[in-house]
A and B are shown apart, each in its own frame.
Chain A
C-alpha cells in the first residue's frame, strides 16, 4: 500500500486534503450489465462526519459503500479513502486498507458456521493476536453493543436486531477510522431500530468515527442529526429539535444514479426541488 501523504497531488495541479477528508468520490460512474447505477457521483466525507445517504431502492446507495471498500471497481472516476486512490490499488493492497474501514452489511453477513465470539474476533484471529487480547477486545466490542451474553451463540440463534448488533461489534473491533452502515435498521421493528441508531450515535459521538450510512428511513437520519449521545444516561438526548452543531451529520440524496442533494439538515429543510420535497415529506 502506498504511504499516506497529507495531500495527494492530482494530475491537474490540484491536491487532495486527506487530513480533513476521509472519503472523496470524484465523478464516479458504474454500470451493471450496461445499466448505469451511478453516473458521475461526487461527494466528500469529512473526518468525524456522518453522512446519511437516502434514495429509493436501486438508486445505488449500497453500491457506494461497496465502492468505498474496493469490493466493486468503478467504470470511471476516482475514489480516495483515507488518502489512498483505491481505484488504482490491487486487491492485495486493499486488504491492508480495509483494516481501517468497518462495514455493517444490510443482512449482517455474519459467518453462519462461526459463533458470535469468532465472528466478532475474525479480524483479530486473522492477525494471530494473543488469545487473551482477542478475548478482551471481543468482550469490549460486545459490551458496546450490549450483547455480552450472546457470545457463545450462533447467528441462526439470534434475532434480526441482535445480528445487526453483532455486525456492528465486528465492524468496530479494530477501531476503524471510517464506518459504513448499509441499511442498519432495514426490516427491524421501531424499538430495535432506535437501539441500533443509538449505537451508531454512540460510535459517532464517543469515538468521533467518520461514517457513511445508507438508509431509506428518513426518521433514522433526522434522529441522528437532531440528537446526541449522553454518556451519563447511556441514551440519546434531543438537541431541542435542532440539528446539533457539535456533531456533523449531513445528508445526500441519490436519484437516477446522481446525487441530487448534498448538505446538512438545515439546507435540506430549505430545498425547493419538487422531487426532494416529496421525498422528505
Chain B
C-alpha cells in the first residue's frame, strides 16, 4: 500500500472540506434561484420519505419496546414503574427518535444517493448534463437535500409516535400499567424545549444525510469500484457526522433550557 505524506493528507482533507462546503452552499442558494425542479423534489420525497417509512416505523417500534423493557426493571426496584411512560417519551422525543431515524435513513438513502450519483459520474452522465446546459447541483443535489430535510421532520414524528406505542404495548401487556397513566405521564413530562430539540435535530440530520450522500456521489472516481467505495464512505461519514452533531446540538439545547 502506498504511504501518504502527512502534508498530502492534510491538503486532501482541507480540499474535501472545501468541496463539501461548496456543495452545501450551492444546495442552499439554489433553492432561491430558478429553475425549481419541483417534480424531481416530489419524486425524491416519495423515494426518501415514503420509501423509508417501513424501516423507520420498525426501528421506532422496537426501540420503544426495548426502552420500556429495560427501564421497567430499574424502575421496579424503586417502586416507580408508573414512570415508564415518562422515560420512554423523554428518550424517544429528545434523543432516540431523531438519531435512530436519521441513522436508518442515512443507511438507506445516503448510500442510495452516493451510488446513483456516483454511477452517473463515472459514466459521464454528470458531464453530459453540464454539457447540455443543466446545472447538476440544481437538478440533482438541491431536490435531494430539500426532500430529505422535509421528510426527516415527519419521519421523526412518526418514529416518536410509534416508539411511544411500542412502549405502551409493553407497559399495558407485560407491566400491567394503566393506558391512561402511561400516555398521560408520557405527555406531561415533555417540555417545550424537548419538543423543539426533537424537531430541530432531524432537520439538521436530514441536511447532513443528503449533502454527504451527494458529495460522495458527485466526487466518485475509479469506475464501479469507486461507486462502491463512495457508497460505503457516504454511510460511514454521514452516520459519524450525525452522532457528532447530535452531541453538539444536545449540549446547545441543554444550555438553552
Interface residues, chain A, with chain B CB atoms under 8 Å away: 66, 69, 71, 91-92, 95-96, 98-99, 101, 103, 105-107, 109-112, 122-123, 126, 170
Contacts and interface: CB of A to CB of B under 8 A. Distances in A.
B133 A96 contact: yes
Interface stretch (B54-62, B84-92, B123-131, B232-240): B123-131
Interface string B159-197: 000000000000000000000000000000000000000
A122 B125 CA distance: 12
Contacts of A66: 127
Given A71-B130, A98-B130, A126-B35, A109 B124 contact: yes
B207 to A, nearest CB: 23
Contact of B123 (A96, A103, A107): A107
Contact of B135 (A95, A101, A112): A95
A96 B132 CA distance: 9
Nearest to A114: B125
A89 B131 CA distance: 15
13 contacts: A69-B130, A69-B131, A71-B131, A92-B135, A105-B128, A107-B123, A107-B124, A109-B125, A112-B123, A122-B134, A123-B133, A123-B134, A126-B134
A134 to B, nearest CB: 14
Nearest to B26: A91
Given A91-B135, A95-B135, A126-B35, A112 B130 contact: no
Interface in B115-145: 119-120, 123-125, 127-135
Contacts of B135: 91-92, 95
Nearest to A72: B127
Nearest to B134: A126
A170 B128 CA distance: 10
Interface string B25-56: 00000000001000000000000000000000
Contact of B133 (A98, A105, A106, A107): A98
A277 to B, nearest CB: 34
A132 to B, nearest CB: 20
A107 B132 CA distance: 16
A71 B171 CA distance: 61
A111 B35 CA distance: 20
Contacts of A98: 130-133
Contacts of A107: 123-124
A92 B137 CA distance: 11
A126 B133 contact: yes
Nearest to B37: A126
Contacts of B124: 105-107, 109
A126 B132 CA distance: 9
Contacts of A105: 124, 127-128, 131
B133 A95 contact: yes
A111 B134 CA distance: 13
Nearest to B119: A112
B123 A99 contact: no
Nearest to B35: A126
